Amino acid sequence: MTTIRILILMFMRNVVISALLFLGAAQVALADSSNATVSQTWQMLDYLATDYSGAVQGGKIISDSEYAEMQEFAATSRSRLQSLPASAELVKQADTLIASINAKAAPDRVSQQAHALADALLAAHAVSTSPDHAPNLQRGASLYQAQCSSCHGLTGHADGPAGLHLNPPPVDFADQTRADQRSALSLYEAITQGVEGTSMTSYEKQLSREDRWALAYYVGSLAYENEAQTGAAIWKSDHQARAAISSLKELSGARVGQLSAALGQEPARKVVGYLRLHPEALKQALAGIPLARGRMAASLAAYNTGDIREATQLALSAYLDGVEPVEPQLNAHDSALRAQLETGMGAYRTSLSHKISVADVTKQAGDIDVLLARAQTVIDEGASDSTATFLGAFTILVREGLEALLVVVALLAFLRKAERHEADRYVHAGWILALVAGGITWVIATYTISISGASRELTEGLSSLFAAAVLLSVGLWMHQKSIGGRWQAYLKEKMTTALNRKSAWFLFGLAFISVYREVFETILFYAALWSEGQGVWLLSGIACGSVVLAAIAWVLLRTSRRLPIGTFFSASSALIAVLAVVLTGKGVSALQEAGWIGVSPAPAPHFELLGIYPTWQTLLAQLAIIVLIVAGYFFNVTRSRRQAEKEAMPLNLATHRAE
C-alpha cells in the first residue's frame, strides 16, 4: 500500500471515528433527556439543598431521621451520577458534598454545594429545564385548587383538611425561608416525579407538561404574593434586576437565595414573586451590552460573598449572552475595542478561578465596565452608519473567506498537477454544500432559533482544531513529496491507478469542513448585521467581497499551473502549515470564549488574521504546532536522505565492480 493511501486511510479513519464519537455523544444526550435518572437525581439534590437545614444546625444534628435522609440522598445521588456517561467530575463534586454532610457542615455551605452539583448535572446532560412559552397562571391557580388545596390549603399554608393527618405533613408553600431555596424547576420536578417517602405522588400522567409548568409557577408565587405587588416597579426600573433574569429558562431556574447576593433578599423576593406571576414581563429583560454590564455587576457581587462558581458563571454569561450577540456590530465599527473586551473578560474569568483579592477583581470589573460603556456608544453611533455596514460586510467575507479559499484552491491545484480532473467534483461538492449549509444556518439563526454564544464558539473552536490537525498531516505529507524527487514517483503512480473512493470522499470532507467553519462564523455575523436595517449596504459588501475572493482564486489557480511541480509541492506544504498554525490559534481562542480554556494575558500583539491572540494559551498551542512542523520537516529530510543513500548503494557497487 502506498504512503498516500495509508495517509488517506488514516485521515478517513479519524474522520469516521470523530463522526461516530459525535453521533454517539448526541445519542447519549438524547437518551439522557428521555431518561428519568437525570431528572430524579437533580430533584434529589435540590431537595437536599433545601431540607439540610432541618437536619443540622451549628454543627450539631437536630433531627436524626432528617440527617439520615440527607446522607442517604447524597449517597444515592452519587451512585446515580456514577452510572451516567462522562460523570467523573460530577462524582468528585458528589464526594465533596458527602464529606460536608458527614462533617455536619453549615447549611449554607451544603446548600451551595448541592445546588452547584445540580446545576452541573443539568449542564452535562440534555434535560428540558423550562416551558416552551410563558405559563398560564390562571390555569395554574385553577389546577392548584382542584389538585393541591385539599392537602396544602387554599393559600399554600399546609392547612388543608386532607393534609392535617399526613406524616410527614405537606409542604408549606407560604414559608419564605424554604421557598427562597426553591425554583420553579424544583416545583415542576416534584409535580412530575413526586416526592419519595411522602404522600406527594407523580402527576406526570394526570397533567400535561404545560399544565405542570403552570402549576409550578403558581405554587412558586404563593410565598411572595405580597412582595409581587411591588415587584413590578423594581423590575421596570432596576437594570440590574432585569439583567439577572433575561429568559424563561433563567426564570425557571432562578431562586431568591441565588439572586440575593446581587439584588438583596427583599428585592430578590419581590422580583421573583412578580415574574412568577407575570412571566410575560420577561419581554422587558435586558439584552446585549446592558445585559453584559448587569451580569458583570452580579458576578462581582457573588465574588464578594465568596460564591466563586456563581461569579464565574455570571462572568461567562456576560460575554456569551451579552457581548457575543452584538459582536458583529462591534467588530464592524471598532474591532480593536472588541478584541480588548474579549481578552479582558477572559482574563477576568481566569482571575476569579485563581481566587485573587477582591480589590483586584473589583478593579478588573471596573475596567471592563468602562470598555462595555464605550462599546454601547460605538454600537449606538454605528447603527445607522451605512458605510460601516458595507465595510464590515466586505472585510468579514474577505477575512474569513480567504482561509477557506486557500484550502480549496490548494486541493484543486493539487488535483490538476496530478491530472486527476475527475476528482474536482468532490472538492466542488464539498464547498458548495458548505455554502448551502451556511444558508440554512442563516435561516435558523435569523428566523427559527437563537444559536447561543457558547454553541457558536464551541462549533468554531472544535472545527478549527480538527481542520488544523488534518492540514498539519497533509502539509507534512506534501513536504515529504517535495524533496528528493519523490513527487515524480508519486505522480507516475497516480497516473496509472484509479482514484480511490475513500480518497475522493476525504477531499470532499476536507473541503466541506474548511469552508463551513468559515461560513458558520460569517453567517452569524451577517445575521446580526442584517438586524440593523442596512440590508442594501450589507448585500453590497457581500457582493464586492465575493468579487475579490473570486479574483484571488483565479490568480492562485493560474499561478499554480505555471509553478514547477516540485516548487508547487513545497509552496503548498508551507501554506498549509501556516494555515494549521492560524486555525490552531483561532480554535483555542474560541474555546476560551466558550469558557472551556482559561485566559492568561500575554505581552503579544493581537493579529486575528493570523490567529495570533495576546494570551499564553493560544500562543503556546501555536508554538506546539510549529514544533511539530519543524520536527516533521527534519524527519522528512532525514528520511529522504537515508532512502537516497540506500538507493544509491547498488549503483555505487555496480560501478565499483565495473572498474
Distance between CA atoms of 328 and 392, rounded to whole angstroms? 8
Of 176-190, 380-394, 489-503, the poorest mean pLDDT is in: 489-503
Per-residue confidence (pLDDT) for residue 148, from 0 to 100: 93
Three-state secondary structure of 399-410: HHHHHHHHHHHH
The answer, yes or no, to whether residue 105 has pLDDT greater than 50, is: yes
Per-residue confidence (pLDDT) for residue 271, from 0 to 100: 94
Distance between CA atoms of 598 and 226, rounded to whole angstroms? 44
Contact 424, 507 (CB under 8 A): no
Per-residue confidence (pLDDT) for residue 278, from 0 to 100: 93
Per-residue confidence (pLDDT) for residue 591, from 0 to 100: 83
Place of cell 442563516: 442
| 619-634 as b/e: b if 16+ CB within 10 A | bebbeebeebbeebbe
Higher pLDDT, 308 or 530: 308
**Domain-wise residue ranges, the chain:** 38-124, 137-382, 403-646
474 pLDDT tier (thresholds 50, 70, 90): low
What are 591's three cell numbers?
Answer: 474555546
Per-residue confidence (pLDDT) for residue 549, from 0 to 100: 83
Measured in degrees and rounded to the nearest 5, phi and psi for residue 86 equal 50, 55
Question: pLDDT digits over 351-384, tens only?
Answer: 998 888 999 999 999 999 999 999 988 887 765 5
Q: Per-residue pLDDT averaged across 614-630, rounded?
A: 89
The whole model's pTM is what?
Answer: 0.64
The answer, yes or no, to whether residue 617 has pLDDT greater than 50, is: yes
The answer, yes or no, to whether residue 28 has pLDDT greater than 60, is: no
Of 255-269, 567-581, 595-609, the poorest mean pLDDT is in: 567-581
Beta bridge partners of 57: 60
Per-residue confidence (pLDDT) for residue 339, from 0 to 100: 86
Per-residue confidence (pLDDT) for residue 491, from 0 to 100: 45
Contact 43, 190 (CB under 8 A): yes
Beta bridge partners of 615: 601
The answer, yes or no, to whether residue 480 has pLDDT greater than 90, is: no
Per-residue confidence (pLDDT) for residue 503, from 0 to 100: 66
The percentage of the chain sitting over the pLDDT mark of 70, rounded to a whole number, equals: 78
**Amino acid identity at 320:** L
Question: pLDDT digits over 289-322, tens only?
Answer: 999 999 999 899 889 888 888 888 889 889 888 8
Per-residue confidence (pLDDT) for residue 386, from 0 to 100: 67
Mean pLDDT of the chain: 79
Helix axes 184-193, 209-221, angle to 10 degrees: 130
Beta bridge partners of 612: 607
Most confident of the following: 33-37, 213-217, 410-414, 493-497: 213-217
Per-residue confidence (pLDDT) for residue 539, from 0 to 100: 79
13 pLDDT tier (thresholds 50, 70, 90): very low
Distance between CA atoms of 261 and 301, rounded to whole angstroms? 6
The H or E element spanning position 60 is strand 60-61
